[in-house]
């Protein structure tokens, strides 16, 4: 029954509760005060408009629509009272106004004693519930307005919703990224959906698929109504099936909140200034010895594209180390630079940046190398001040630079020989391998370690993002979404500032549409209990499980560990267009064959050979005198007897099968595996040619100790990824195979 059909449901202004738009604030109450809390009666009005079969209900003191003796539920409604049963504010009985008034008074006393303002006593229909003996059959539904859009959470409900969520994780649907049909398919496979549909052994059907489809489809218009009403959260718990199989909410509450403020992003055209600068200025170069600024200058002096394009900001000097100087940023107004690097103390850097903003020009991108801005050491709140200056200028439509950092450790563009970091070359040699992989990290040390561990990463760009006071990961992702040179992206993320997650999702969708994989390692994962948080009132904000759900549905692939991330990087660097599919493995060690079989997944199974392919493999083994010793199947264990030529012949044959990826396991302890440089290089080149000819990725595995580092390095010179274990190679593939 809608509110307009029930005269007992009216707000304090006399407006009918179903007329949401009639209350200026968007809040519906039955008392004189307008609350940010949306209580059960007003939530029912919202649900009824979206087609939900809400229980008949009405306020006890306003002639509720019940006959004497009719079974009812009496509920005490209080401001911000989310869990009525905990205060004894739920009473099951029959409709008898005088007796219920006494019960209601006791509820009011308890509610007010607990600090909640009394709203009223609500009489509700007692719904006959369909039960499932021994199993929880109540549901939970919530809609949360998140910065990435409205999120629906559906799972097991009732008083033990949080505990149940620890054992049966709820479903999360970012409504902008999921269709009703997709949501229904997932719910049908969930514990609650299977129980309701009678798809468990010995269980009867409690409802129909059509009713569930209607309930799920209603979430999209319900979210739109919640948005129009200014809600940030709408929670239904429990949601049950009645005796006829109808989906019924037995309680509902919500919360209003201001709309989320839009983030003022930096200008999108900043990337060219960073990756292809013609003029670069540095402030903070010492004239008396090595310091951070001087190391940066030495690095940039080696960039051919910046020959004659460097300038120093240094008062009192016209030239230093052969580089022209200007006294201040005011001089850059007439002769702008693409990039200004500030290797200065925090206060000086902040002042120079605010001067630049005030004068309205001088540098397209400013990198704050200094720490102490916007972090725990910022006792003067310099970061807040600079951020406010940027926001004010952008909101007014004035010019601003794009700001990197603070704690900007540097960026690398191997194709241009560009390195803006302050890491001495005797500690980390220049990175010369160019390719299509972009690497980002909120930790500068993270990128340094990745470069050191895999110096052959084929990078088009790497950026240590620092504290992201202004330019952040999503800004780079948006800028690269249309860059044909970028063919894969990997990022290390420690957290998302307000507005960043929604923009990252939007950018990820653009990248997915272009076929650019985005792999992420998310640090700071919480302990067990994130699933339960989704079933708790208002606990969605900061939910890492939700964050992963939203990003995953936008196409982001997650590495669970640093080892997985490194393995995925090794594959992406060489084969950015790698796709999931069957795997083939050729090895000379039985342990690798067994491990590969154990680690195979549904999306990347071991390839199944046709009868013709198996016969061809058997023929090859016979020609190599391995018949009766080696089984003609995959994984192919060639035993220590196999020479490099056998590996190559088998690889060529298997690359013509349905295998999407080929792994070659080279345990190097037999003399048949040539580990000396010339022979190893020749074998690696042959493998690279097979990969190029077939158009399929090949990974090499050398499971051995440090004595064989030179052998691995020789193989890697071919350009193919080299791994130390079969588990490592397959872990990287598993990350990239995520939907």
Q: What is the pLDDT of residues 540-560, one digit of tens each?
A: 334 788 889 999 999 999 999
Which runs of E-coded beta strand occur in 405-475? 410-413, 418-419, 434-441, 459-464
C-alpha–C-alpha distance, residues 448 and 428, integer Å: 8
Q: What is the pLDDT of residues 332-358, one digit of tens each?
A: 999 999 999 999 999 999 999 999 999
Task: Measure Cα distances from 660 to 390, 566, 736 in Å.
Answer: 49, 21, 13
pLDDT at 525: 63
Task: Measure Cα distances from 717 to 174, 609, 651 in Å.
Answer: 44, 32, 19
Does 695 sit behind a cis peptide bond, omega within 30 degrees of 0 on the bond before it? no
pLDDT at 526: 52
pLDDT at 25: 26
pLDDT at 706: 93
Residue 158, classed as helix, strand or coil, is: coil
Of 409, 405, 404, 411, nearest in space to 276 by CA:
411
Residue ranges covered by each domain of the chain = 3-39+49-125, 139-256, 578-736
Half-sphere exposure at residue 357, Cβ-oriented, CA atoms within 13 angstroms: 25
Residue whose tokens read 């010793």: 629
Residue whose tokens read 């499980």: 545
C-alpha–C-alpha distance, residues 71 and 125, integer Å: 7
C-beta of residue 642 within 8 angstroms of C-beta of residue 676: no
C-alpha–C-alpha distance, residues 233 and 240, integer Å: 20
Task: Copy the structure tokens of residue 29.
Answer: 């109450």
R_g over Cα of the chain: 32
C-beta of residue 277 within 8 angstroms of C-beta of residue 306: yes
672 class by beta-carbon count within 10 Å (0-12 exposed, 13-18 middle, 19+ buried): middle
DSSP 8-state secondary structure symbol assigned to residue 608? P
C-beta of residue 206 within 8 angstroms of C-beta of residue 198: yes
Note the residue count of the chain: 739
Gap between the terminal Cα atoms of the chain: 43
C-alpha–C-alpha distance, residues 407 and 467, integer Å: 6
198 class by beta-carbon count within 10 Å (0-12 exposed, 13-18 middle, 19+ buried): middle
* Beta strand 231-241 pairing with 323-326: unpaired
Residue 389, classed as helix, strand or coil, is: helix
Beta bridge partners of 376: none
C-alpha–C-alpha distance, residues 68 and 115, integer Å: 33
20 class by beta-carbon count within 10 Å (0-12 exposed, 13-18 middle, 19+ buried): buried
DSSP 8-state secondary structure symbol assigned to residue 499? T
CATH number belonging to the domain at 578-736, selected among 3.50.50.60, 3.40.50.261, 3.40.50.300, 3.30.70.340: 3.40.50.261
pLDDT at 528: 43
Q: What is the pLDDT of residues 380-391, one digit of tens each?
A: 889 999 999 999
139-256 CATH: 3.30.470.20
C-alpha–C-alpha distance, residues 478 and 491, integer Å: 14
Task: Copy the structure tokens of residue 700.
Answer: 């090499």
Q: Point out the residues of the chain with pLDDT beneath 50.
A: 1-34, 527-542
411 class by beta-carbon count within 10 Å (0-12 exposed, 13-18 middle, 19+ buried): buried
C-alpha–C-alpha distance, residues 292 and 295, integer Å: 5
């Amino acid at each position: 029954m809608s509110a307009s059909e029930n005269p007992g449901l009216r707000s304090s202004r006399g407006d009918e509760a179903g007329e949401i738009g009639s209350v200026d604030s968007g809040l519906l109450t039955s008392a004189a005060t307008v609350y940010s809390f949306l209580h059960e009666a007003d939530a029912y009005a919202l649900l009824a408009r979206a087609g939900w079969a809400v229980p008949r209900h009405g306020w006890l003191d306003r002639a509720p629509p019940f006959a004497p003796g009719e079974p009812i539920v009496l509920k005490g409604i209080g401001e911000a009272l989310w869990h009525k049963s905990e205060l004894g504010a739920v009473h099951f009985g029959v409709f008898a106004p005088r007796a219920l008034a006494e019960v209601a008074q006791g509820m009011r006393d308890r509610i007010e004693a607990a600090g909640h303002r009394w709203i009223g006593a609500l009489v509700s229909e007692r719904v006959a519930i369909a039960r499932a003996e021994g199993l929880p059959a109540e549901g939970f539904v919530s809609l949360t307005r998140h910065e990435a859009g409205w999120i629906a959470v559906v799972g097991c409900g009732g008083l033990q919703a949080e505990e149940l969520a620890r054992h049966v994780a709820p479903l999360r649907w970012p409504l902008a990224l999921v269709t009703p049909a997709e949501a229904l398919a997932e719910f049908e496979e969930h514990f609650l959906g299977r129980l309701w549909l009678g798809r468990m052994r010995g269980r009867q059907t409690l409802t129909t698929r059509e009713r569930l489809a209607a309930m799920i489809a209603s979430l999209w218009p319900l979210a739109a109504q919640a948005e129009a009403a200014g809600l940030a959260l709408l929670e239904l718990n429990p949601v049950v099936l009645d005796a006829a199989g109808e989906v019924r909410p037995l309680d509902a509450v919500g919360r209003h909140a201001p709309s989320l403020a839009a983030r003022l992003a930096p200008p999108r055209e900043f990337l060219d200034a960073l990756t292809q600068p013609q003029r670069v200025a540095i402030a903070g170069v010492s004239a008396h010895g090595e310091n951070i600024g001087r190391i940066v200058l030495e690095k940039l002096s080696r960039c051919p594209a910046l020959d004659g394009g460097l300038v120093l900001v240094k008062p009192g000097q016209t030239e230093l180390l052969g580089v022209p100087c200007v006294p201040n940023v005011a001089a850059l107004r007439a002769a702008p630079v693409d990039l200004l690097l500030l290797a200065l103390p925090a206060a000086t850097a902040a002042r120079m940046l605010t001067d630049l903003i005030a004068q309205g020009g001088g540098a397209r991108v400013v990198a704050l190398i200094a720490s102490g801005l916007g972090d725990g050491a910022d006792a003067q709140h310099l970061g807040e001040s600079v951020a406010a200056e940027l926001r004010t200028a952008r909101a007014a439509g004035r010019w601003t630079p794009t700001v990197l950092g603070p704690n900007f450790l540097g960026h690398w563009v191997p194709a241009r020989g560009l390195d803006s970091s302050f890491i001495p070359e005797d500690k980390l040699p220049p990175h010369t391998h160019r390719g299509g992989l972009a690497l980002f990290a909120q930790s500068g040390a993270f990128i340094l370690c990745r470069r050191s561990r895999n110096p052959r990463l084929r990078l088009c760009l790497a950026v240590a993002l620092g504290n992201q006071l202004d330019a952040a990961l999503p800004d780079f992702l948006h800028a690269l979404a249309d860059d044909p040179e970028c063919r894969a992206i990997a990022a290390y993320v420690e957290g998302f500032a307000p507005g960043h997650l929604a923009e990252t999702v939007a950018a990820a969708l653009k990248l997915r549409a272009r076929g650019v994989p985005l792999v992420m390692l998310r640090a700071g994962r919480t302990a067990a209990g994130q699933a339960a948080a989704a079933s708790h009132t208002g606990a969605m904000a900061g939910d890492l499980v939700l964050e992963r759900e939203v990003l995953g549905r936008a196409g982001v692939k997650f590495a669970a560990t640093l080892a997985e991330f490194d393995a995925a990087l090794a594959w992406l660097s060489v084969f950015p267009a790698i796709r999931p599919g069957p795997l083939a493995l050729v090895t000379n060690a039985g342990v690798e064959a067994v491990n590969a079989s154990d680690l195979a997944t549904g999306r990347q199974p071991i390839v199944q050979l046709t009868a013709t392919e198996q016969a061809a493999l058997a023929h090859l083994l016979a020609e190599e005198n391995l018949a009766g010793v080696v089984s003609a199947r995959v994984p192919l264990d060639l035993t220590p007897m196999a020479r490099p030529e056998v590996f190559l012949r088998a690889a060529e044959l298997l690359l013509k099968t349905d295998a999407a990826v080929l792994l070659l396991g080279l345990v190097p302890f037999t003399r048949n595996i040539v580990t000396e440089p010339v022979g190893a290089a020749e074998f690696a080149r042959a493998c690279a040619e097979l990969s190029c000819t077939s158009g399929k990725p090949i990974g090499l595995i050398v499971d051995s100790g440090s004595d064989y580092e030179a052998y691995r390095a020789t193989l890697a010179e071919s350009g193919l990824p080299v791994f130390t274990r079969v588990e490592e190679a397959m872990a990287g593939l598993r990350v990239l195979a995520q939907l």
